[in-house]
Chain A
Amino acid sequence: MQPVATTFFFYFLSGLTVLSGVLVITRKNPVHSALALILGLLAQAGLYLMLYAPFVAGVQIILYAGGIMVLFLFVIMLVNIERSQKEEQFNKQWLIGVLAAAALGVLFVLVYVKGKDLFPEHIAQPAENSNTQQIGVMLYGQYMFAFEIASLLLLVAIIGAVVMAKKRI
């Protein structure tokens, strides 16, 4: 089926992402920040859907919004909110902050100016219907080695967590 109101949804979702990103760093209450972050992650999942990548969108919802953020909230809920609200929210490194922001801004402007040469003229039409299958073939065929290395890394992290948490095994 042909996509409907693409421009509207793009600006809506990206606006939502930016807004929630701002909310994450400005809210005093850490729980509110975490909730804003979840909103941002969901809006990003919507953007992935617009890019014809439903599998990535689904994984984004399951892993980030449903898994990792729940653990975030889990930890934050146990923290004493009243104390954390009195703590200072921003540190005083405005000089470095301005430099980093300026560098990022320059990068954005450069991409905007030179974008025509960097990116292909026409959007590649990805096959929406076989997105999941294609990702599977890629991961277990072409990028098998990298994929297995990444899983090994995760295994190391799990073992490390167990070793740190348990004094005697």
Chain B
Amino acid sequence: MLDYITSYLSSNTTPGQAGNVFWAFVYILVVFGGVSVAVMAMNWLERKALAHFQIRLGPMRVGPHGLLQPIADAIKLFTKEDIVPDKADKFVFWIAPLIILCAAFSVYIVVPFGPTHAITDLNIGVLFMLGVSSLAVLGVVMAGWASNSHYPLIGALRSSAQMVSYEVAMGMAVVSAVLMTSLNKTGTGTLSMIGIVQAQQQQQIWFLFKFFPLGFIAFVIFAIAMVAETNRAPFDLPEAESELTAGFHTEYSGLRWSLFMLGEYAAMIAVSSIAVTLWLGGWMRPFPNTLTGAIWDLVFSLFPGAIFIALAVIAFVGVVRMPKHPYFRIQTLGLAGFGAVLGLIGLILFAPPVRDRIQDIFWFVAKVAVFMYLYIWYRATWPRYRFDQLMKVGWKVLLPIAIGVLILTAILGVLL
């Protein structure tokens, strides 16, 4: 038994490929736990950043700077009454949020956090991610229909039309990136997520800059389509508050509503990680081709620890600046403890064996985090599209450009 567990550590593949059930299980727990925590953090960050965009304070009451707000929200949602409308289709109503959640979380099976840090590596990685995440639209449609109410139905209709149309442009952009993976000696490309990053490693270039500006245009198309695909602003017509209250989940409350939110944010992280894998070099650190050598390796490997230490310093600055009134004592102690934990994590990340293993995960997560911040930025900056404008952008602008980029990429790939 112990042999079985330790034997994987010396192998150089993902647990899924090595066929090690124990480590696959551990990885699944870690990834799903990590994603859930990331969703909570994202929830806090979104409210806070949106508030600062609009010159407000945002959540300030629960914990220092509202840090514990997501936990308080979770407790509130768990204990809230769960209302099912009288004329609703009970079974479909019940199963719809679960489908969205399953679709959002299953795609993490193939997300490559590092060359060995993925649950498994499928031969059809990208295809699997696009296919399974497209199943989320079923949950949206079912939720809208089962509520037996007008706003959810209209929201669901809009959502399905939108997701199906933007999937086409998205797929074309992905294909042009997949084509680039075949530019090696054997001339065979790959769909596997790890294989795609390795192809970028081999060709010494992120696909974002390959055949400039072709790779860049494909990336921009994907970045736009991915926002529409996850029903986020400025494409959040399915849940447009001003016209449809909350769209397809108007009738949901309590725990089930929170499942929708969890699924939405998990899907956002998932599509961002597709973009990172395909165009931004996945787990590779910045400038792996120009800033080479042992010194640069060392400098870049110190980044994860340094970030955590910086966060700890920020927390301690907060402790110092906290008002000295006895009312704030618990908050001050909590923030100091939080800073200490962050600093400790930072120190652990400086240790050489940990540093080497954690590096790839750190760069992948950092790149995804940029996208998550962009999502918030979009929401704060741009007004919502009208539905006909949305369809026009999807079919008449993005799709033709994507097909053009695909054809040009193929031609250049054959010529060069």
| Interface residues in chain A, defined as those with a beta carbon under 8 Å from any beta carbon in chain B | 1-2, 4, 29, 31-32, 35, 38, 54-55, 57-59, 61-62, 65-67, 69-71, 73-74, 77-78, 128-133
| Interface residues in chain B, defined as those with a beta carbon under 8 Å from any beta carbon in chain A | 16-19, 21, 89, 92, 122-124, 127-128, 130-132, 134-135, 137-138, 141-142, 144-145, 153, 156-157, 160-161, 163-164, 167, 188-191
Find out whether the CB atom of B145 lies under 8 angstroms from the CB atom of A73.
Answer: yes
What are 11 A-B pairs at a CB distance below 8 A? A1-B19, A2-B19, A31-B145, A35-B92, A54-B124, A57-B124, A58-B131, A59-B127, A62-B134, A78-B157, A132-B127
Q: Smallest distance from the beta carbon of A136 to chain B beta carbons, Å? A: 8
Name B142's contact: one of A35, A57, A58 (CB within 8 Å).
Answer: A35
User: What residue in chain B is nearest A129 (Cβ atoms)?
Assistant: B123
Given A54-B123, A77-B141, A77-B156, A1 contacting B135 (CB threshold 8 A): no
Given A1-B18, A2-B19, A67-B164, A73 contacting B132 (CB threshold 8 A): no
Name A73's contact: one of B16, B160, B188 (CB within 8 Å).
Answer: B160
A55 to B18, CA, bound (A): 21
User: What residue in chain A is nearest B17 (Cβ atoms)?
Assistant: A1
A131 to B157, CA, bound (A): 36
User: What residue in chain B is nearest A52 (Cβ atoms)?
Assistant: B123
Q: Is the interface of A mostly helix, strand, loop or mixed?
A: helix
Find out whether the CB atom of A58 lies under 8 angstroms from the CB atom of B137.
Answer: no
Given A1-B17, A77-B153, A77-B156, A58 contacting B141 (CB threshold 8 A): no
Could you say which residues of chain B place their CB within 8 Å of the CB of A31? 89, 92, 142, 145
Find out whether the CB atom of B124 lies under 8 angstroms from the CB atom of A55.
Answer: yes
Instruction: Across the A-B interface, give the 5 residue pairs with the lowest CB-CB distance, nearest first.
Output: A1-B19, A66-B134, A58-B127, A61-B131, A62-B131
Could you say which residues of chain A place their CB within 8 Å of the CB of B188? 130, 133
Find out whether the CB atom of A58 lies under 8 angstroms from the CB atom of B157.
Answer: no
Find out whether the CB atom of A58 lies under 8 angstroms from the CB atom of B164.
Answer: no
Find out whether the CB atom of A74 lies under 8 angstroms from the CB atom of B138.
Answer: no
User: What residue in chain A is nearest B127 (Cβ atoms)?
Assistant: A58
Could you say which residues of chain B place their CB within 8 Å of the CB of A57? 124
Could you say which residues of chain B place their CB within 8 Å of the CB of A71? 164
Name B157's contact: one of A54, A77, A129 (CB within 8 Å).
Answer: A77
Could you say which residues of chain B place their CB within 8 Å of the CB of A4? 19, 21
Find out whether the CB atom of A58 lies under 8 angstroms from the CB atom of B134.
Answer: no
Find out whether the CB atom of A61 lies under 8 angstroms from the CB atom of B160.
Answer: no
Could you say which residues of chain A place their CB within 8 Å of the CB of B145? 31, 73, 77
Q: Smallest distance from the beta carbon of A54 to chain B beta carbons, Å? A: 5
Name B128's contact: one of A32, A58, A133 (CB within 8 Å).
Answer: A58
Find out whether the CB atom of B191 lies under 8 angstroms from the CB atom of A132.
Answer: yes
User: What residue in chain B is nearest A63 (Cβ atoms)?
Assistant: B131
Q: Which among A73, A78, A130 has the greatest number of chain B C-beta atoms within 10 A?
A: A73
Q: Which among A55, A58, A59, A78 has the greatest number of chain B C-beta atoms within 10 A?
A: A58
Q: Smallest distance from the beta carbon of A80 to chain B beta carbons, Å? A: 13
A93 to B221, CA, bound (A): 53
A133 to B190, CA, bound (A): 8
A147 to B89, CA, bound (A): 43
Could you say which residues of chain A place their CB within 8 Å of the CB of B157? 74, 77-78
Q: Smallest distance from the beta carbon of A64 to chain B beta carbons, Å? A: 10
User: What residue in chain B is nearest A73 (Cβ atoms)?
Assistant: B141
A118 to B164, CA, bound (A): 42
User: What residue in chain B is nearest A67 (Cβ atoms)?
Assistant: B164
A138 to B16, CA, bound (A): 28
A69 to B128, CA, bound (A): 17
Name A70's contact: one of B124, B130, B132, B141 (CB within 8 Å).
Answer: B141
Name A131's contact: one of B21, B123, B131, B167 (CB within 8 Å).
Answer: B123
Could you say which residues of chain A place their CB within 8 Å of the CB of B142? 31, 35, 73
User: What residue in chain B is nearest A76 (Cβ atoms)?
Assistant: B145
Name A38's contact: one of B128, B131, B138, B161 (CB within 8 Å).
Answer: B138
A131 to B191, CA, bound (A): 11
Find out whether the CB atom of B138 lies under 8 angstroms from the CB atom of A70.
Answer: yes
Could you say which residues of chain B place their CB within 8 Å of the CB of A78? 157
Could you say which residues of chain A place their CB within 8 Å of the CB of B156? 77
A78 to B160, CA, bound (A): 13
A54 to B109, CA, bound (A): 15
Given A54-B123, A128-B123, A73 contacting B138 (CB threshold 8 A): yes
Q: Smallest distance from the beta carbon of B85 to chain A beta carbons, Å? A: 16
List 16 other contacts, CB 8 Å, given A70-B137, A70-B138, A73-B142. Answer: A31-B145, A35-B92, A54-B122, A54-B123, A58-B124, A62-B127, A62-B134, A66-B137, A66-B138, A69-B138, A70-B160, A73-B160, A129-B123, A130-B123, A131-B123, A132-B123
Could you say which residues of chain B place their CB within 8 Å of the CB of A131? 123-124
Q: Smallest distance from the beta carbon of A61 to chain B beta carbons, Å? A: 4
Q: Smallest distance from the beta carbon of B151 to chain A beta carbons, Å? A: 14
Q: Smallest distance from the beta carbon of B238 to chain A beta carbons, Å? A: 13
Find out whether the CB atom of A62 lies under 8 angstroms from the CB atom of B160.
Answer: no
